[in-house]
Amino acid sequence: MEPSAPDRRSAGDAGSGSTVEGVAAPGQDDPAVVVNNLSFTYSGIDGQPLLNSPPIFRDVSFSLRPGSRCLLVGPNGAGKTTLLKILGGKHLVPRDCVWVLGSSPFHDTALTSSGLLSYIGGAWVRDIAFAGYSVPLQGDFPAGQIIEGIPGVDPKRRERVMKVMDINSDWRMHLVSDGQRRRVQLCVGLLKPFKVLLLDEITVDLDVLGRADLMDFLTEECEERGATIVYATHIFDGLQSWPTHVAFLADGKFQTFDEVKNVPHLRDGKLLDTVVRWLREDKRRRAASKRSSKTTVVFQQPLNNGWASGRMTASLSK
Ligand SMILES: Nc1ncnc2c1ncn2[C@@H]1O[C@H](COP(=O)(O)OP(=O)(O)OP(=O)(O)O)[C@@H](O)[C@H]1O
């Protein structure tokens, strides 16, 4: 799909339907998400691209209109999380490459602080000085305290989201199961009436009913409020009729990005079969390209050795 021209009003311009200070809401027909020729490579702490690491994306472009539900699929390591993080403003990319609700998510922090753009991904962890990296958030405090402590939330919406996620306010966070912790994490991410929601494999710990209720809620949010959702997952159970769009990311680009109604097998509800076929094709393509490649990878002494306090990273010299 060709990207549409982004809405380039700067933050603070009066936009039709603007409700949050600092964020110019796009008009109803403007795309909610626009990506223009996005290329991205991770860099080390010296700011240089990591050695021997090809770009994660090359010239990726797409756009999504309000109300779209896009399933983002692809093999492990294809870059789904990276793309969601870029859309969520967590990685610096050139301002003109990524537009969410008419603003650059990295540069215009009001997008995320207002809750209009919400990113929910990974386990609920934090880096805590002297405790370590990726420490699970499980202090002894009740779930209700976290949820009710978030300011600016409509009490009716809070009640609804807590009901959908089936949360007991008295759950003590250091005693809950992984699935219960995930429910609280989801609840927090859904409390504000987002316009764009980015989900990174968040249903992994949920039981089947919790998952079904969540997907129904998300469908309603898109159909009734015009929210836009990009959801990266490897779990396709019960998702056949959920997406309006499917994007298959592999080898640095979208091998497929289309509306479900335009892809015959997807239209017929064969989501899992189709994704498995795409994955097999991609695996064959990678094997063929490896066989034909004459490039010898030479490991060199990297400019940084990837050392950070308490952690060894993958950029260590071999
Ligand atoms: N912080 C980082 N620094 C350097 N490389 C990274 C970093 N995070 C991810 N990568 C690399 O970027 C590539 C894409 O990773 P990413 O997590 O986006 O893939 P993914 O499609 O979400 O994978 P999965 O399906 O396994 O979750 C991988 O090769 C990974 O090793």
pTM, to two decimals: 0.83
Quick: pLDDT tens for 41-64.
888 777 777 777 788 988 999 999
Residues 8 and 25: their CA atoms lie apart, in Å, by 11
Residue owning the nearest CA to atom 4 of ligand 1:
42
Quick: pLDDT tens for 239-249.
988 999 999 99
Q: How far is the CA of 90 from the centre of ligand 1 (A)?
A: 14
Q: How far is the CA of 141 from the centre of ligand 1 (A)?
A: 33
Quick: pLDDT tens for 154-192.
999 999 999 999 999 888 888 888 889 889 989 999 999
Residue owning the nearest CA to atom 26 of ligand 1:
76
> Which residues, other chains included, contact 199 with Cβ-Cβ below 8 Å and sequence gap of 6+?
84, 120, 121, 229, 230, 231, 232, 233
**Sign, CA torsion 308/313/315/316:** positive
Quick: pLDDT tens for 209-229.
999 999 999 999 999 999 999
CB 77 within 8 A of CB 10: no
State phi, psi for 21 to the nearest 5 degrees.
-60, 130
Closest ligand 1 atom number to CA of residue 78: 21
Give percent above pLDDT 70 in the chain: 78
- Domains of the chain as residue ranges with CATH: 1-115+233-318 (3.40.50)
> Which residues, other chains included, contact 76 with Cβ-Cβ below 8 Å and sequence gap of 6+?
none
> Which residues, other chains included, contact 47 with Cβ-Cβ below 8 Å and sequence gap of 6+?
none
Residues 99 and 63: their CA atoms lie apart, in Å, by 9
Closest ligand 1 atom number to CA of residue 85: 18
Q: What pLDDT was estimated at residue 116?
A: 94
Q: How far is the CA of 171 from the centre of ligand 1 (A)?
A: 33
Closest ligand 1 atom number to CA of residue 82: 18
Q: How far is the CA of 78 from the centre of ligand 1 (A)?
A: 7
Quick: pLDDT tens for 133-147.
667 666 778 888 889
Rounded average pLDDT over 304-311:
49
Q: What pLDDT was estimated at residue 17?
A: 37
Give percent above pLDDT 90 in the chain: 47
Q: What pLDDT was estimated at residue 272?
A: 93
Q: What pLDDT was estimated at residue 139?
A: 72
Q: Which of 92, 69, 316 is nearest to 199 (CA)?
A: 69
Q: Residue 133: in which H helix or E strand, if any? A: strand 132-136
CB 100 within 8 A of CB 129: no
Residues lining ligand 1, Cβ inside 6 A: 42, 50, 56, 74, 76-82
Q: Helix (H, G, I), strand (E, B), or coil: what is residue 177? A: coil
Q: What pLDDT was estimated at residue 163?
A: 95
> Which of 38, 46, 56 to probe ligand 1 with, by most ligand atoms within 8 A of CB?
56
Question: Using CA atoms in the order 154, 160, 162, 166, what is the torsion angle rounded to 10 degrees?
Answer: 180
Task: Name the packing angle between helices 178-190 and 155-164 (round to 10°).
Answer: 150
> Which residues, other chains included, contact 232 with Cβ-Cβ below 8 Å and sequence gap of 6+?
71, 72, 73, 80, 81, 83, 84, 199, 200, 201
Quick: pLDDT tens for 4-42.
444 443 333 333 333 445 555 556 678 999 999 999 988
> Which of 81, 92, 248, 312 to probe ligand 1 with, by most ligand atoms within 8 A of CB?
81
pLDDT at 70 over 70: yes
Average pLDDT of the chain, as a whole number: 82
Q: What pLDDT was estimated at residue 22?
A: 52
